[in-house]
Structure 1
Amino acid sequence: MTKMSHQFNRVALAAVLALGAPMALHAQELPYSDVAEEADSGHGDGDGGTGVRTPHVTISPYIEASQVLLAELSPGHDTVTYSTLAAGVDAVIGGRNNQGAVSLRYERRFGWGGKTVDSDSLSGVARFQTAIVPRAINFEVGAMAARSTVENNGSTVSGVELGNSSQVYSAYAGPSIATRTGDLFVNGHYYFGYTKVEQPDAIVLVPGQNPVDLFDSSTRHNAELHVGTKAGEPLPVGIGAGAGYNREDISNLDQRLEDFHARGDVAVPLTSDLQLVGGVGWEKVKVSHRDALRDTVTGLPIIGTDGRYATDTAQPRQIAFESEGLIWDAGVMWRPSRRTALEAHVGKRYGYTNYYGSLAYAPNSRMSLNVSVYDSITSLGGMLNDALADLPTEFEAVRNPLNGDLGGCVAAQGPLKSGQGSCLTGALSSLRSSVFRGRGVMASLGLTGGRWNYGLGAGYDRRRFIAVPGSVLGVTNLTIDENWWVGAYMSGQLDAKSSLGATVWANWFQSGDALAGNSNAVGATASYNRSIWDRLSATAAVGITGVNRDDLADYWTAQAQAGVRYQF
């Protein structure tokens, strides 16, 4: 299959994967795999399970020009056109001590007529890992930039041009350790994270609705350390102990999440590939924030020039949630081969019953099934940082064929490990600023047969927000936002010079705020690519997208795009 075909296979995948697939948030889950397995320093990605890498470097810069027609079908009937110039680079680096990938694109739009304005956007995703001490200490970094349309209920829709778009940036960096000393396996990391959401141009508000407090920026410190032994080395069972600390500071109303836990655990082998695991420990979690600055005459909260609530720093911090005491959980781990890994856990954490787990199944090179279930207290910034850390170190980015935006997902080069994810957009399903308890499940199935690839994905994400009752954020306290999504794709090579891709998708967002209302979105795209000469190719794509919103008019658009790309 040609490079051009691979490129369009990724494009066809974008609309499906950009629906908001939730991530398995392992940075905040309780680590059992370290008890019974040899520490994995990350050198297994893309090595076929042999542990030996074939060094390779692929760097592909490009420039692109295209013409786009956008027709509004409902509620209006406007038609606009614009031209785009773009430059970008896709790169993959693979080796024993250094692995990583990056996809970066800058696009400038030139509007035709008075209905469109010039604009630009930056989108990309990167994940790198380098060995400071080979097979022991690594330094990791991940970053992303994405653009999404923000709805009046705080949810986001990808691939829709409504004028109320927001640019989102997130990054993390820090050292990690995975090594063995005698019979002890040592695993840990320290990550510093940063996330920023730029204010959208506008948000359409239903009359009487409270303004949606959109996330501004956050910093995060996340550290984990775990020491354990493998069953039979030297004891019949594996034992371990660990501790972790997570702190997130959110600029909106000075929100803060602090979580410290310490625990011991044990792994009891039943067979060579099945073991029971369990652990008990202590945890303290606190969520707090300040109230908004209020007008001395009306008592109403003051909104700053950035469209967000101004913080009253003179008032003391108030506790929105606090939990301290015993935590425990138990489960099973089944790993019959390097192609199959299953974990399922149940326990008590945050004062609630807690479930999480994952499944990775790749019986051959043509099929891959991944399922993840997660449950944690976090924020938008925390979810994005964890999603970046969960990405494989070698991937190819997928983008919307109509506007070049990053769909938020990547195509992993090789099967994913258990619990590893390939999408960022689950964290972007809502841009509300409040800390929340996030729970959900995601499943994806990929098939490759001959010259054609097929895929199916579905997921559910649930967020229960945490805030101080009576404060300006109190209206969101205990409210629940839910998002369901499903999608399918097919792509393949028509002949030696041309390829075709098609996708369909839908998602349903239900807001816990009755005044904010619910929103549903559906869409479909088709794209065609043909090599013209050497490194020059032509592209054509069409698509239709619809958004249905409570108390607001439905919005439907159709797009067509034609362009050329030169690959250096």
Structure 2
Amino acid sequence: MRTSFVTLRRTTALAALLLAGTATVAHAQWSGDAGPGSDAPGAADAAAQDGPRDGSRRSEDRRQRKIEVSPYLEVGQILSADLKNGGDVLTYTMLAAGVDAAIVTRRAEVAASLRYEHRISEAGGQGDSDAISGIARGRIEVAQGFNIEGGALATRTRADGGGGANIFGGGTNSADLYSVYAGPTFARRIGNLDVGAGYRFGYTKVDIDTPNVVTPGIPRGSSFDSSTNHVAWASVGQRPGELPFGWQVSGGYEREDASQLDQRFEGKYARADVTVPIGPTVALLGGVGYEDIEIGQRDPLLDANGVPVVDSNGRFVTDKTQPRQLAFDTDGLIWDAGVMWRPSRRTSLTARVGRRYGDTIYTGSFAYRPDHATMLQVGVYDGMSSFGRGLSRGLAALPTQFDPTRNPIDGSIDPCVFGQDGGGCLTPQLGSTTAIQYRNRGVQALLSSRYGRWSYGVGIGYDQRRLLVPATSVIAALDGTKDESYYLFMTAARELDADSSLGFSGFVNYFDNGAPGAADVQSAGISASYSRRLWRNLTGNASAALNAFDQDGFNNQLIGSAFVGLRYAF
């Protein structure tokens, strides 16, 4: 009799966890499965790991109250040399000011790192330059079940297909990237119903320093400019108990307006889902609904020779006299079915197959926590996306507590972050600053752990974009183009003693440009750093790095860099 009771309790708990997690991320049915960190383990899996929750509290048993805000000033000397092309040896004096913050209270969680850096050109330099970089993610509980969430990213990238490569001011095709999102979320159990709702506003801007030169394989004029996006969703459901299955009804709306070619994405959905426990650790999932998606854009202005006109930043000039044409249009029935396996609180697996966007889709996630210090996440995603919406979703999928790491030479934010509740890599979003909307598929895996004095993290993934352009557009040749990215990022650190530490990092990126006659791009780098406290809050730092960049048939670089500096933390 007791065995039956335990089995029933585990079965009911499994379904409750599924519905609780689904209620907190109902918007994932609309756009959250369209990029890494969406159907990739993130908020949904965190909900499953934490157990049933109504949004009114965060488990205090898993965290201790912490308020750490560390502003600092830094000065250093940088040496950089092109080891392959016989380039000049460049030296800079670096001045920087920044702040790192990690805040955990009963009603708030914030993780942030912000830095301003100024370089004074010396021997062989290309002029003084400035950069602002940072990443932040936070949540504030305003009332029971009602939160305000937000995130932001500022980094340096490239304005062409080599996006994601570390670059400081003055480089070819360099650009500043800014992205921010914010909005309220509500998740609470009211009576015997789980109620959820939310809204998210996002803004992304790419500010080009040096216009895109005519680079083989890079579509002229296709660099992203700016966009705003809005997402709203709501859901209501019931856990198994009164009924032998759980159910949920949800709906959502999303819109994005992009400045480049006056693009517009607009979509809405409504659906019903059921969760049917078939054992103490297994449940079947199923859903059916309706969605309507339209993506449109205007043509670029043509010159007297019928060639698209580009502005001073190398972007298409929009022809406002032309009507907006549809690049993608679908409406009708959608469905998916799948299975959830949860043998313990440390392990969960979800897999789904369905029909959306007029095509078959496959999504899923896996999360495994063998101990308190180790986390493995794998996510498979498939959906509609863009550069702006992808960054907003990527930021929203990051945990509210993580350890941001930076490149030890240029101070830029590393593309992957790791924390106690997992992490995420923004490498796919930064891989190419294309202005074109696209269908997005891929897989991402992350592993983070601590062992003794060592801590490390690994992020690896594959991302595919199929560009969507109106069939009658003057740039219709880009329609159906598939860009593919493969990426690997690794970081490790060791505390040598109470005053000193070592750090290592490395990355490999491969961008397969699908445009006719395109040039593929490969980049890789390794770095090592040493830090030692010299006196109270004064720390000495020394770093060395080697970075390679190869654009097939066009540009090859092997850059060696070194840095020595002092940091004073307040």
TM-score when normalising by structure 2: 0.89
Distance 1:363 1:248, change over 3 A: same
1:479 aligns to what? Answer: 481
Please state how far the C-alpha of 1:154 moved relative to its aligned partner: 5.4
User: Quick one: distance in 1 between partners of 2:146 and 2:325?
Assistant: 40
Choose which of 444, 447, 457 in structure 1 pairs with 2:446.
Answer: 444
Q: How does 1:11-50 map to 2 (within 5 A)?
A: 23-25=36-38, 38-41=52-55, 43-44=57-58, 47-49=60-62
User: Quick one: distance in 2 between partners of 1:328 and 1:200?
Assistant: 45
Does the Cα contact within 8 Å between 1:206 and 1:551 map onto a contact in 2? no
2:9 aligns to what? Answer: none
Does the Cα contact within 8 Å between 1:149 and 1:160 map onto a contact in 2? no
Choose which of 324, 337, 342 in structure 1 pairs with 2:349.
Answer: 342
Q: Is 1:99 the counterpart of 2:99 in the alignment?
A: no
Does the Cα contact within 8 Å between 1:71 and 1:557 map onto a contact in 2? yes
1:12 aligns to what? Answer: none
Choose which of 391, 398, 401 in structure 1 pairs with 2:405.
Answer: 398
Letter in 2 for 1:395: F
Where 1:345 maps in the other structure, the secondary structure is: strand
Does the Cα contact within 8 Å between 2:37 and 2:398 map onto a contact in 1? no
Letter in 1 for 2:311: G
Does the Cα contact within 8 Å between 1:160 and 1:545 map onto a contact in 2? no
Q: Is 1:415 the counterpart of 2:421 in the alignment?
A: yes
Where 1:406 maps in the other structure, the secondary structure is: coil
Please state how far the C-alpha of 1:410 moved relative to its aligned partner: 2.6
* Greater Cα shift, 496-505 or 32-41: 32-41
Letter in 2 for 1:217: S
Choose which of 235, 244, 268 in structure 2 pairs with 1:236.
Answer: 244
User: Quick one: distance in 2 between partners of 1:202 and 1:310?
Assistant: 14
Q: Is 1:282 the counterpart of 2:290 in the alignment?
A: yes
Q: How does 1:522-561 map to 2 (within 5 A)?
A: 522-561=524-563
Q: Is 1:519 the counterpart of 2:521 in the alignment?
A: yes
Please state how far the C-alpha of 1:488 moved relative to its aligned partner: 3.4
2:26 aligns to what? Answer: none
Distance 1:409 1:539, change over 3 A: same
Where 1:360 maps in the other structure, the secondary structure is: strand
Letter in 2 for 1:437: R
Q: Is 1:205 the counterpart of 2:214 in the alignment?
A: yes
Q: How does 1:145-156 map to 2 (within 5 A)?
A: 145-151=154-160, 153=161, 155-156=163-164
2:226 aligns to what? Answer: 217
User: Quick one: distance in 2 between partners of 1:284 and 1:32?
Assistant: 28
Please state how far the C-alpha of 1:373 moved relative to its aligned partner: 1.0
Letter in 2 for 1:240: Q
Q: 1:371-423 CA deviation, whole Å, 9 max, x = no partner?
A: 111111011111111111111112221111111111133332x233xxxx433
Does the Cα contact within 8 Å between 1:35 and 1:229 map onto a contact in 2? no
Choose which of 553, 564, 567 in structure 1 pairs with 2:566.
Answer: 564
User: Quick one: distance in 1 between partners of 2:48 and 2:98?
Assistant: 43
* Greater Cα shift, 107-116 or 485-494: 485-494
Gaps of 5+ in 1: 1-21
TM-score when normalising by structure 1: 0.89
Letter in 1 for 2:470: V
Distance 1:175 1:26, change over 3 A: farther
Please state how far the C-alpha of 1:208 moved relative to its aligned partner: 8.3
Letter in 2 for 1:68: I
Q: 1:101-134 CA deviation, whole Å, 9 max, x = no partner?
A: 2211000110004532101011111122112212
Q: Is 1:355 the counterpart of 2:369 in the alignment?
A: no
Choose which of 108, 127, 139 in structure 2 pairs with 1:117.
Answer: 127
2:12 aligns to what? Answer: none
Letter in 2 for 1:23: P
Distance 1:150 1:559, change over 3 A: farther
2:278 aligns to what? Answer: 270
Where 1:564 maps in the other structure, the secondary structure is: strand
Distance 1:34 1:284, change over 3 A: farther
Please state how far the C-alpha of 1:492 moved relative to its aligned partner: 0.6
User: Quick one: distance in 1 between partners of 2:371 and 2:44?
Assistant: 28
- Report % sequence identity: 42
Does the Cα contact within 8 Å between 2:71 and 2:98 map onto a contact in 1? yes
Where 1:398 maps in the other structure, the secondary structure is: coil
Does the Cα contact within 8 Å between 2:92 and 2:119 map onto a contact in 1? yes
User: Quick one: distance in 2 between partners of 1:351 and 1:315?
Assistant: 28
Where 1:528 maps in the other structure, the secondary structure is: strand
1:257 aligns to what? Answer: 265
Q: 1:267-319 CA deviation, whole Å, 9 max, x = no partner?
A: 00122332111000011111100001122x32222212332111111111101
Distance 1:385 1:441, change over 3 A: same
Please state how far the C-alpha of 1:561 moved relative to its aligned partner: 0.4
Does the Cα contact within 8 Å between 2:159 and 2:208 map onto a contact in 1? no
Where 1:427 maps in the other structure, the secondary structure is: helix
1:72 aligns to what? Answer: 82
Does the Cα contact within 8 Å between 2:157 and 2:163 map onto a contact in 1? no
Letter in 2 for 1:109: R
1:85 aligns to what? Answer: 95
Does the Cα contact within 8 Å between 1:35 and 1:228 map onto a contact in 2? no
2:300 aligns to what? Answer: 292
Does the Cα contact within 8 Å between 2:73 and 2:97 map onto a contact in 1? yes
Where 1:389 maps in the other structure, the secondary structure is: helix
Distance 1:150 1:349, change over 3 A: same
Does the Cα contact within 8 Å between 2:88 and 2:124 map onto a contact in 1? no
Higher relative contact order (CA 8 A, sep 6+): 1
Please state how far the C-alpha of 1:468 moved relative to its aligned partner: 1.1
What do you get for the CA RMSD once the two structures are aligned?
2.4
1:325 aligns to what? Answer: 332
Where 2:415 maps in the other structure, the secondary structure is: strand
Please state how far the C-alpha of 1:142 moved relative to its aligned partner: 1.2
1:19 aligns to what? Answer: none
Please state how far the C-alpha of 1:40 moved relative to its aligned partner: 4.8
Where 2:234 maps in the other structure, the secondary structure is: strand
Letter in 1 for 2:277: P
Letter in 2 for 1:406: I
User: Quick one: distance in 1 between partners of 2:275 and 2:384?
Assistant: 26
Letter in 2 for 1:156: G
Distance 1:104 1:126, change over 3 A: same
Distance 1:388 1:209, change over 3 A: closer
2:21 aligns to what? Answer: none
2:372 aligns to what? Answer: 365
Distance 1:564 1:40, change over 3 A: farther
User: Quick one: distance in 2 between partners of 1:335 and 1:64?
Assistant: 48
2:25 aligns to what? Answer: none
Please state how far the C-alpha of 1:184 moved relative to its aligned partner: 0.6
Distance 1:455 1:42, change over 3 A: farther
Please state how far the C-alpha of 1:523 moved relative to its aligned partner: 1.1
Letter in 2 for 1:197: V
